[in-house]
Structure 1
Amino acid sequence: MKLKFKVTFNSVVGQNIFITGSCKELGNWDKDKAIALSYSHFAQWSIDMKIKSKDFEYLYFIKDDRDQSITEEWSKRSFSALNSKDSYILKDAWNYPNLPEFNLNTEFFEHIGVDIPVTEQKVSKKHTHQFNISFRPLHPNESVYLLGSIGELGSWNEENAIPMHWDGKGKWSVNLDLSQVNHQFSYKYLVVNPETNILKYFEEGENRIGLPSNVDEFIIQHDTGFKQPQHKKWRGSGIAVPVFSLRSERGLGVGEFLDLIEFGKWAKEAGFSMVQILPIHDTTAKFDWTDSYPYAAISVYALHPMYLNLNALKFKLSAKELKEIEAKAKELNQHDNVDYELVNNYKTKFLKKYFKENKKAILGDKSFKAFLKENEEWVKPYAAFSVLRDKNKTADFTQWKSNSKSSKATLTRMFGTKSKDLDAVMFYVFVQWQLHEQLSKAVEELHNLNLTLKGDLPIGIYRHSVDAWWNPELFHMDQQAGAPPDDFAVLGQNWEFPTYNWPRMKEDDFAWWKSRFQFMSRYFDAFRIDHILGFFRIWQIPLSATQGILGRFEPALPISLDELNFRGINLDLERLVEPYLHYDLIRLYFGSETEEVVSTYFDFKNDLGELRFKEEYNTQRKIKNTLAANHGHLERLLELAANVLFIKEDADEVRLHPRYGLNETNNFKWLPKDIQDKLYALYLDYFYNRQEQFWKAKGLEKLPALKQATNMLTCGEDLGMVPKVVPQVMNDLAIMSLQVQRMPSDEEIKFSNPHHAPYLSVVSPSSHDTSTLRQWWKEDREATQFFYNTMMGKKGAAPEELSEELLSIIVDQHLYSPALLSVIPLQEFLGMHPELRNPNEEIERINVPAVFPHYWRYRMHVTISDLINHKEFTNMLKDRHANAGRG
């Protein structure tokens, strides 16, 4: 066959276009054997080739001579030869990641979209052209048609528009005979009601241009970017609720996976399109309430046993067991909040007894065996880790008497037929099998309702986890991840997770990350990347520190002593990286206790009154480990330990990073004014200019490959101190941003306006990390008053309480936003109705980021059945969604 590949791309000097594909002539995906295209004019690149294969895939990529980088198109194309043709022109448009079709063709829209019948089309010898466009209509009675300037395309008469064929996978196409056309022509795609043949809308923008074919040539036109009018774009509504917060009559004091089914039925009736949940992985490490933190999972795969419904286990329960569960449910459901320890202790005890009694049937079950075989890469290490954790009474594998370092030999031994541990490891496999079965059933039922499920991908892994034990080379175990200070956590956050060894992960093309994403796609149609900033740079804190304030960005371009000297900042290294301590400074902190404090914690450096911490107190970690949590000196000593100007990158080389808030330290304030000015100028440059392009490169190194690993709709939690390049990269990759009204990305405004949110975004008035709106209303009277007068357009003094009416106004601001998704926590919706708002609003907050560890235990104060039976409330939400055009 003769093929001419033509692609449109606006290149710059230094960029060259190549093609690679799945056949020999295109290099079998080997980029070193890729074929270079030639540039002609007006952004046109082309190559003529002869190819034997009748079916193959291909894509284009850019080689940039300026930095030797390679940038691929976002998706592959497929070619299948038509029997009657042997010469083709493949006229392609570049597949940019942020084109609408790449989000519309995700799992998310496959489940909420309408059913469109697949139609086959034949090609005849007379056909000369095939037109293709990827676009998924999401409203009933919508099909894509073709209309153009020539008679064969309807001469712009809407009644003559040509229906296209749907392939069931997101693409429309039609074969046409344009053999009598001898000049270029213009055309557009439009959406028509196929039953009435009435036009719904044209795509917007300039007309597309088509070319005539030569004798015996067949032109395949691959078009991209259906330009849908803004008011016709689909917009959905999601409700956010942790699984543990669901309350049902049958529950055991905590929400369970199967509760999602009944909750989904209510959500569907109320007009929602999506349910969003928090991470659901096993966090059992310390066997106490601190394990309630859902972002500290001991496995990035294993699901949490507390979400298992005991009544729905595979093998039949006895009447005695059923009665016991019923009695326990009655007892545990009396609690306003989740009693994490009572719930998990009971379920674990029950499941171990159940496994012992049904062991033979379980181990012989075909479904169980299939689950073990399919998931052995992660479930065997998880089961072994769990057994060793139980034996050693700690998940800190560095403290284990044996097996502190993982090995395949350990798995072989523990899963051996004669192993003393076989029953113990098989118990954990059994629990994961049942969790998988129940969650899969819940997801299937949600999809049957045309509802989608959105998950949450934590940015970090727990330090004492299977992942750290099994793959230690992927992590920096001597560092801690967190977040820099902000208005919600003035000392920063220290999550205590190890940071990632990205260079090592890159060696196998981020296989560990891709595996995580693919595992999530088993259950979720969309997912939120927690702290997406971590893919550009993470806030890294040394183990010697306890507060996030002593962290720095990693990776980041450091500052050298030579640069400091060049800028006229001539300070010795000790003044730069050690806490600056002086007798007069200690007196400011401790007053009458100064003599006692100095003699206890400090040594004099010289007769100028300068001090240093004694060896046993010279890091925050030592101070915190030595003093009791309620010790009167603790917080002030920690602050003094953080009185530094720079963070030193490592012990050997002098690579420095400014401490966040450097200008607010006493160290800074006790410097000469000219040095202060130079330091502050350097500080501003470091945090807001110096790193931008460096971080952009790091984000683009990881995110494209990871996003392409699955077909989920991708959202990024991009809150906090956001580099300017992050929104650019997210937009280029069509990763939806998060817009929380009281946390605007623009530092010049107090609140973001949901009406100004971009389409590819998620808007929300609150989240699991913030107070609810009713709580927030009372936190800062000045902020509330400003919001009341400006964002709500109300006159006079703001009322003391956020009424149902006022709360509804805030919710409506988000429902009427142009954003693709509005995701609002359940508590906010309940607060809109006088009969359903919680009389005790103080127990509705899920997490306080500044408090670590925090007890994650919020539960609905009403049951799912109460919601289903409250038709007035359900219909009110349904009408609100309909009026706002959501769903």
Structure 2
Amino acid sequence: MKIKFHLKYSTHLGENIFVVGDIPELGNGDKSKALPMQFFNESEWYVEFETKKKKFEYTYFVRNLKDSSIREEWAPHHFERHILSKNLIVRDFWNIPVLPQYNLGTTLFEEISSQFKSQNLRALKKNTHRFKIHFPVFNPHQVLLLTGNTPKLGEWNPERGIEMKPAGKNFWYIDVAMPALLCDFEYKYALYDKREKSVNFFETGANRIGHPVGAEDVQIYNDVCFRVPELDRWRLSGLAIPVFSIRTKESCGVGEFSDLKALGKWAKNAGFSLIQILPINDTTAHYSWLDCYPYAAISVFALHPMYLSLRELPYSLNKKEILSLEKKSKILNQSSGVEYEAVNQYKRDFTQKYFKRNWRKIARDKDFLSFKKNNKNWLIPYAVFSSLRDEYGTTNFEQWPAYQQPSEELMNCINDEQHLLHAAVNYYCFIQWILDMQLRDAVDFLHREGVGLKGDLPIGISRHSVDAWEHRELFHMNQQAGAPPDDFAVLGQNWEFPTYNWEKMKDDDYTWWKSRFQFMARYFDAFRIDHILGFFRIWQIPMYATQGILGYFEPALAFSDEELIERGVSLSIKRLTQPFVTKEILKQIFDKEFETAENKYFKTLEDEISLKEEFSTQRKIQQNLDSNHPHFEILMNLVANVLFIEDENRAEHFHPRFNLIETLSYQDLDEHHKHVLYLLYTDYFYHRNENFWKIKGLEKLPMLKKATNMLTCGEDLGMIPKVVPEVMQELAVLNLEIQRMPGRVDKLFTHPADSPYLCVVSPSSHDTSTLRQWWKENRAGIKFFYNQWMGHEGEPPQELSEPLQEEILHQHLFSPAMLSIIPIQEFLGIDSSTRNLKEDDERINIPSVFPHKWDYRMHISVEDLIENKKFTQKLNALNQKCGRIKGDIIQFWK
């Protein structure tokens, strides 16, 4: 058979297009042997070849002749030979991530369309044209319809249009005989309701163009992008809540995986399609409330033992265990927040005794043995790590005398009954088995209720984690990750995580990252990438610093000392990088304590004042001075009184300190250097690194996004380079829109109605104050919001009332965004029957306070919400009114 590929795609001067496939004629996957295409016109390329293969996969790519760089399309094309013709013309389009089939075809949506039974493609025989399009249809009463301006296509009359057939995952096709055509024709697709016998809507945009065929030709149109009208796009609503915050009458002092079932039942009745949770990985490092920070996991795979339900263990509880559980649950559930120490200690003691009593059954359980075998790559190292943590009382593996490095012999302790760690390792494997069963059971229940689950992928890992212990080469252990100063934290954030060795990760094709994504897909239908900026660059903080303000971007194009001189900087490196101290500054900041402070903290050499060695860095100040000491913050700020920070990985390269213009060191400069450093600072933070970061982001994100079929969302708040939204849009990663945190510096707020489709909108998050708290934080800002963004006149009320809070939520639910996911506290606040009288108890995290206790729990139980039918119906009506419950998706997950 002779095949001719036509590709619709516009290129730039110096670019050529090639096609590569898994057959010899197309290079057997080797790009160096790919077929070059010929230029047809400004938007079309073609290539012709012969093959006897009946089935193959192929992909187009563009090669730039100047730098040999390659740009590939997002997904491959699939060819199946069902054509009785000598000459076949295939008309393709370039596959890009923003095509609706890729996000609507993710796990979150795909089960909706699984109700269609695919039909095998048949030989075209006397037909001359095959029309094929990739697009999910969610309602069993709906099909795609083909219509056009020829008699065979109904002459634009929907009643005479051609009903298409399902063919494979989200594909539709139809064969048509149009041999007598003499000129091009026009056609379009429509969504047709067979029950109503009417068109729901035609695709928008210009008509598609078809072409006549020769006597022995057949044409296949592999169309893309069914253009859904804006008002008919599929939009879902969801609620956000950490698992630990869920309160049910069956839980034991903390939300548990099993509690997701009751929450999902209520969510369905309230009109929600999605539940979003925070990270659920094990964070047990101190056995105290300090372990509450969900973004400091000791394993990126293991689930947190506190989410285990003692009521749903695989073997029956005895009478003593039942009585103990009922008594302790009653006590723990009385707390308004999460009592981490009490909850985890009780569950640990309970499960250890249960494990010991049932060990013979567990050791023979085929499901348990299968779980260990299938997950051994991460499970055994985690179980050994946890056992050694218990043995030595710390997760800092540098303090484990004989086990600072893992070994094959150590991992084999799980099979060696004589080994001291044998029982403990099997215990931790058992706990993970139960957690996995309980979470998957909850997810299955949610799906049956028509509710999806969205997870959260932390950007960092704990410095003292099994991942760092086992894969030390993948991390820069001598650096700390954090975030630059912002509205959340004026001194920046130091998460104390090691930064990633991306070059090492690239060497094995990002295997560790892909494993994380694929493991999450075991439970989640969608996920949020925490701090997606980390895939472009991270805020890296030297180990000698404790505050984020002394960090710099990595990777970044730092200034060399030669460049600084060329740009007009004649100051010494010491003046640029060392804390600037003068007697005038000391008198200004210490006031009456000047002499005492000067003698205690400073030394003078040749009229130069500097900090004594024991106070020369923030880390040393922290070690030698109590944080409550009146001079502690003064010294910390003085150490940060620098203009540039030296790059620890590249000698004689320097990064401007964040907000250097506000330092006392800058204020002491002459006007020339003030002007020069201002220009350098602006260049570094807003121009110099933009394209460099775009290249870094595009190195990682496409490969990782392809590793899973979950719907991908990214948290992109804070100081965002303009290339980040560009790349996210290019890859169809949904961004996060928080109304009071606009991405533009010239705006105080955004309106949800202006949001793009591929985004998640919310009025708040776990890192912000709730709406009721925010209403009291900035009265001037609230007045502007109340008047301009809510359309009310006069002064705003002191308290955010239930109707006003509902009005704000209505704005978000009514927005064009694909997802509106709002913290459950905000929904509970719109009705007097569910509003928490203690509004400050509803805040989850204060980023500027570290460590902060994340202990929020719902003040009412999910069972009470289920019983409160009036409130539930109120939310359902709100979702209905805002178009978040549509007939097209009522079959969700059915």
TM-score (norm 2): 0.97
Question: Which residue matches 1:628?
Answer: 626
SS in 2 for 1:528: strand
Question: Which stretch shows the higher mean deviation, 278-287 or 180-189?
Answer: 180-189
**In 1, Cα distance between the equivalents of 2:741 and 2:789?**
14
Question: Which residue matches 1:70?
Answer: 70
Question: Which residue matches 2:260?
Answer: 260
Q: Is the 8 A contact 1:148 1:154 kept in 2?
A: yes
Question: Which residue matches 1:786?
Answer: 784
| Pair 1:830-2:820 in alignment | no
How far apart are 1:185 and its partner, in Å? 1.2
Question: Which residue matches 2:314?
Answer: 314
**In 1, Cα distance between the equivalents of 2:376 and 2:115?**
37
Question: Which stretch shows the higher mean deviation, 163-172 or 285-294?
Answer: 163-172
Question: Which residue matches 1:218?
Answer: 218
**In 1, Cα distance between the equivalents of 2:246 and 2:662?**
44
SS in 2 for 1:710: coil
Q: Is the 8 A contact 1:88 1:217 kept in 2?
A: yes
**In 2, Cα distance between the equivalents of 1:884 and 1:96?**
30
Question: Which residue matches 2:645?
Answer: 647
**In 2, Cα distance between the equivalents of 1:741 and 1:709?**
31
Structure 2's unaligned 5+ residue stretches are 886-894
Relative to 1, partners in 2 of residues 1:7 and 1:124: Cα closer, same or farther, differing over 3 Å?
A: closer
> For residue 865 of structure 2, what is the amino acid of its counterpart?
L
Q: Is the 8 A contact 2:240 2:822 kept in 1?
A: yes
C-alpha distance after superposition, 1:241-279 (max 9, x if no partner): 000000011110000001101100100000001000000
Question: Which residue matches 1:613?
Answer: 611
Question: Which residue matches 1:91?
Answer: 91
> For residue 709 of structure 1, what is the amino acid of its counterpart?
A
Question: Which stretch shows the higher mean deviation, 660-669 or 17-26?
Answer: 17-26
How far apart are 1:400 and its partner, in Å? 1.1
Question: Which residue matches 1:769?
Answer: 767
SS in 2 for 1:441: helix
| Pair 1:842-2:802 in alignment | no
How far apart are 1:116 and its partner, in Å? 3.7
Question: Which residue matches 1:286?
Answer: 286
C-alpha distance after superposition, 1:299-347 (max 9, x if no partner): 0000000111111111111122111111110010010000011101110
C-alpha distance after superposition, 1:83-107 (max 9, x if no partner): 6345322210000111111111101
1:881 to 872, 879, 882: 879
Question: Which stretch shows the higher mean deviation, 11-20 or 769-778?
Answer: 11-20
Q: Is the 8 A contact 2:145 2:191 kept in 1?
A: yes
Percent identity of equivalent pairs? 51
Question: Which residue matches 1:736?
Answer: 734
How far apart are 1:521 and its partner, in Å? 0.6
Relative to 1, partners in 2 of residues 1:513 and 1:323: Cα closer, same or farther, differing over 3 Å?
A: same
Q: Is the 8 A contact 2:82 2:124 kept in 1?
A: no
Question: Which residue matches 2:888?
Answer: none
SS in 2 for 1:3: strand
How far apart are 1:124 and its partner, in Å? 4.2
> For residue 202 of structure 2, what is the amino acid of its counterpart?
F
**In 1, Cα distance between the equivalents of 2:17 and 2:595?**
73
Alignment of 1:571-720 (within 5 A): 571-607=571-607, 610-650=608-648, 653-720=651-718
Question: Which stretch shows the higher mean deviation, 822-831 or 311-320?
Answer: 311-320
Question: Which stretch shows the higher mean deviation, 439-448 or 119-128?
Answer: 119-128
Q: Is the 8 A contact 2:83 2:125 kept in 1?
A: no
Relative to 1, partners in 2 of residues 1:814 and 1:139: Cα closer, same or farther, differing over 3 Å?
A: farther
Q: Is the 8 A contact 2:482 2:492 kept in 1?
A: yes
Question: Which residue matches 1:298?
Answer: 298
Question: Which residue matches 1:398?
Answer: 398
> For residue 709 of structure 2, what is the amino acid of its counterpart?
N
Q: What is the RMSD of the two structures over their aligned residues, measured on CA atoms? A: 1.4
Question: Which residue matches 2:889?
Answer: none
How far apart are 1:742 and its partner, in Å? 0.7
Question: Which residue matches 1:749?
Answer: 747
C-alpha distance after superposition, 1:38-81 (max 9, x if no partner): 21213211211122321111111111223332221111121111
**In 2, Cα distance between the equivalents of 1:5 and 1:864?**
57
Question: Which residue matches 1:206?
Answer: 206
Alignment of 1:299-448 (within 5 A): 299-448=299-448
**In 2, Cα distance between the equivalents of 1:381 and 1:65?**
48
**In 2, Cα distance between the equivalents of 1:747 and 1:111?**
41
Question: Which residue matches 2:809?
Answer: 811
C-alpha distance after superposition, 1:697-756 (max 9, x if no partner): 011011111111100111110100000111111111100110001100011011111110
**In 2, Cα distance between the equivalents of 1:567 and 1:597?**
38
SS in 1 for 2:380: helix
> For residue 593 of structure 1, what is the amino acid of its counterpart?
E
Question: Which stretch shows the higher mean deviation, 589-598 or 120-129?
Answer: 120-129
C-alpha distance after superposition, 1:117-146 (max 9, x if no partner): 544553341122211111113456321110
Relative to 1, partners in 2 of residues 1:408 and 1:215: Cα closer, same or farther, differing over 3 Å?
A: farther
Q: Is the 8 A contact 1:62 1:72 kept in 2?
A: yes
Alignment of 1:25-40 (within 5 A): 25-40=25-40
How far apart are 1:113 and its partner, in Å? 5.6
How far apart are 1:413 and its partner, in Å? 4.0
> For residue 847 of structure 1, what is the amino acid of its counterpart?
N
**In 2, Cα distance between the equivalents of 1:804 and 1:770?**
20
SS in 1 for 2:402: coil
**In 2, Cα distance between the equivalents of 1:465 and 1:583?**
45
**In 2, Cα distance between the equivalents of 1:647 and 1:494?**
16
How far apart are 1:213 and its partner, in Å? 2.3
**In 2, Cα distance between the equivalents of 1:414 and 1:476?**
30
Q: Is the 8 A contact 1:138 1:234 kept in 2?
A: no
How far apart are 1:6 and its partner, in Å? 1.7
SS in 1 for 2:378: helix
Q: Is the 8 A contact 1:539 1:554 kept in 2?
A: yes
How far apart are 1:115 and its partner, in Å? 3.6
How far apart are 1:472 and its partner, in Å? 0.5
Q: Is the 8 A contact 2:121 2:167 kept in 1?
A: no
How far apart are 1:179 and its partner, in Å? 2.1
**In 2, Cα distance between the equivalents of 1:474 and 1:157?**
61
**In 2, Cα distance between the equivalents of 1:413 and 1:71?**
48
**In 1, Cα distance between the equivalents of 2:42 and 2:162?**
30
SS in 2 for 1:653: coil
**In 2, Cα distance between the equivalents of 1:797 and 1:879?**
30
SS in 2 for 1:769: coil
SS in 1 for 2:436: helix
SS in 1 for 2:75: coil
C-alpha distance after superposition, 1:824-867 (max 9, x if no partner): 10000001011110111111000000011111110000000000
> For residue 748 of structure 1, what is the amino acid of its counterpart?
D
SS in 1 for 2:16: strand
Question: Which stretch shows the higher mean deviation, 150-159 or 807-816?
Answer: 150-159
Q: Size of the alignment, in residue pairs?
A: 885
**In 1, Cα distance between the equivalents of 2:819 and 2:650?**
49
Question: Which residue matches 1:55?
Answer: 55
> For residue 31 of structure 2, what is the amino acid of its counterpart?
K
C-alpha distance after superposition, 1:668-695 (max 9, x if no partner): 0001111101110111111101111111
Q: Is the 8 A contact 1:111 1:447 kept in 2?
A: no
> For residue 50 of structure 1, what is the amino acid of its counterpart?
E
TM-score (norm 1): 0.98
Question: Which residue matches 1:166?
Answer: 166
SS in 2 for 1:564: helix
SS in 2 for 1:155: helix
| Pair 1:558-2:558 in alignment | yes
